[in-house]
Amino acid sequence: MPADILVQGGCVKNRIVIASKNSGKVKEIRGILSSAGPRMEILDLAELSYAEKIDEIGNNFIENAIIKAKAVYAKFKLPVVADDSGLCVEALGGRPGVFSARFAGPHATDKENNRLLIEKMNNVCEEGRKAWFSCVAVFYYAENRYFSCEGRVYGYIAEKPSGSGGFGYDPLFYLPSHGKTMAQLKPAEKNSISHRGKAFRALKKYIDKYFRTG
C-alpha cells in the first residue's frame, strides 16, 4: 500500500497508522480517534500486512511506545499512533508492568496471564490487591518528533475473572466505583474511563491540530 497521501475523486485523504495488530486494542483506539482531523483514514498493521517483528526492549511504557512508533513510521512514512500499556499490581511491586502481555511467557495467551496473576495473588489481602492500568500513547508525526500522553485507571485485582468483554486482564480488574470488572463494562463505558481512553483522548487534541494545520 503506498505511503503517500491518497487522492480519491479529487479529495485528499489524510492517513494515520495504529501501530498494533491487536484487534481489541485497535477497535478501542479507532473508537476514540474516529473523529480526529478532517477526512481521516485510520489504518492498522493487519490492514497494511506489516509482518516485521518489533522488539519491545524499553524499560518503561513510553520507551516501548516510541520503539513501535519509530519502526512503523520508518516503514510507511505516515503519522503513527502507538501505545504501550500494562497492569501494575501493588503487591507485586508494580509488576507485571511492561511485561504484562508476556507475564506467563513470550507467547502467553490472556487466559494464561490471568491464571498466573491469580496464582501470584493467592492469599493476598484486599489492601495488597490495589492495582492500576497505565497507558502511554504516542503520536509520532516526523523523524524523532512526537507527542505523548499518559492515562491511568485505579482498581483492585479480583479473586476470579468476571465478564466477557474487553481483553487482557480486564476480567480481573475490579472497579469499586462501578461494582464491576473492566470486562463487564460496555465498550463505550470502558472507553470513557479506561487508561487507554484517557491517554488517547488527551493525545487526540495534538492529532486534530496536526491534521488541521498541516
Q: Are 30 and 200 in contact (CB under 8 A)?
A: no
Q: Can you give the pLDDT at residue 82? A: 97
Active site residue 84: yes
- The active-site residue, picked from 84, 110, 170, 208, is 84
Does residue 7 surpass a pLDDT of 60? no
- Residue 13's pLDDT is 59
Per-residue pLDDT reduced to its tens digit, 8-18? 333 345 899 99
pTM over 0.75: yes
Average pLDDT over residues 182-206: 92
First to last CA, the chain: 22
Q: How confident is the model at residue 1 (pLDDT cuts 50, 70, 90)?
A: very low
Q: Are 151 and 84 in contact (CB under 8 A)?
A: no
Helices within 122-194 (DSSP H only): 187-193
Q: Which CATH architecture has domain 6-213?
A: Alpha-Beta Complex (3.90)
Our measurement of the distance from residue 112's CA atom to the centroid of its chain's CA atoms, rounded to an integer in Å, reads 20
